[in-house]
């Protein structure tokens, strides 16, 4: 899941702060394995993800239940490592033949695998940003916009929301809910965005 590799702001000093999970059926295997997405989705929903595919478009859980068996994709973000550990354990036990990708700090992923008697077999890393880096937004803005790996969260939207919060026209929570909408994959982290917006508007 390479579109999550450029997320900034996660730190070994804050283990378990954020993990993204992905389940996807390959196009060639949809006829055989698409039904397996139903129990996977129910397991993910059971642990109350902070965001999930379809939610940014305003879909409720029942609508997401109709979407996923057709799309063959579940993406979600969690702020609780224990919940992801339980999801891995339950999906492993179901033996559905659909692989799970976990994106986060290497230490968190390793901890999750060890807890479930699994061995991580693949690592993808980002080498960073090259080019005219002076033109990049400030670091806190980057922490927000890089949460959408398809670059659909604009730094100008972040700037506008920060202005509105400072003027008392919006709360950080409302701003975070607006910022996750362009990222239709459902991997924007509203909890972390709210915290960042609070820091950006109070000068902390």
Question: Per-residue pLDDT tens for 142-181?
Answer: 999 999 999 999 999 999 999 999 999 999 999 999 999 9
pLDDT score, position 16 = 86
3-state secondary structure the chain: CHHHCCCCCCCCCCCCCCEEEEEECCHHHHHHHHHHHHHHHHHHHHCCCCEECCHHHCCCHHHHHHHHHHHCEEEEEECCHHHHHHHHHHHHHHCCCCCEEEECCHHHHHHHHHHCCCCCCCCCCCCCCCCCHHHCCCHHHHHHHCCCCCCCCCHHHHHHHHHHHHCCCCCHHHHHHHHCCCCCCCCCCHHHHHHHHHHHHHCC
pLDDT at residue 129, as a whole number: 87
Query: What number is the average pLDDT over the span 87-97?
Result: 94
What's the confidence (pLDDT) of residue 204? 57
pLDDT digits (tens, 9 = 90+) for 29-56: 878 888 899 999 999 999 999 999 999 9
- CA-atom Rg of the chain in angstroms: 17
pTM of the model: 0.91
Structural domains of the chain, ranges and CATH numbers in brackets: 2-115 (3.30.70), 133-202 (no CATH)
């Amino acid at each position: 899941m390479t579109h999550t590799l450029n997320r900034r702001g996660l730190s070994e000093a804050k283990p378990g702060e954020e993990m993204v999970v992905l389940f996807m059926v390959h196009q060639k295997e949809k006829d055989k394995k698409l039904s397996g997405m139903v129990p996977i989705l129910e397991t993910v929903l059971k642990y109350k993800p902070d965001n999930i595919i379809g939610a940014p478009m305003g879909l409720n859980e029942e609508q997401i239940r109709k979407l996923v068996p057709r799309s063959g994709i579940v993406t979600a973000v969690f702020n609780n490592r224990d919940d992801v550990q339980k999801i891995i354990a339950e999906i492993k036990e179901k033996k559905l033949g659909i692989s799970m990708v976990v994106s986060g700090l290497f230490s968190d992923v390793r901890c999750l695998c060890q807890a479930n008697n699994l061995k991580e077999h693949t690592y993808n890393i980002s080498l960073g940003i090259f080019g005219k880096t002076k033109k990049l937004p400030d670091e806190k803005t980057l922490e927000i916009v890089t949460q959408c790996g398809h670059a659909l969260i604009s730094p100008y939207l972040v700037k506008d929301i920060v202005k509105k919060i400072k003027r008392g026209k919006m709360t950080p929570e409302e701003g975070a809910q607006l910022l996750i909408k362009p990222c239709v994959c459902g991997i924007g982290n509203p909890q972390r965005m709210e915290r960042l917006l609070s820091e950006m508007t109070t000068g902390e």
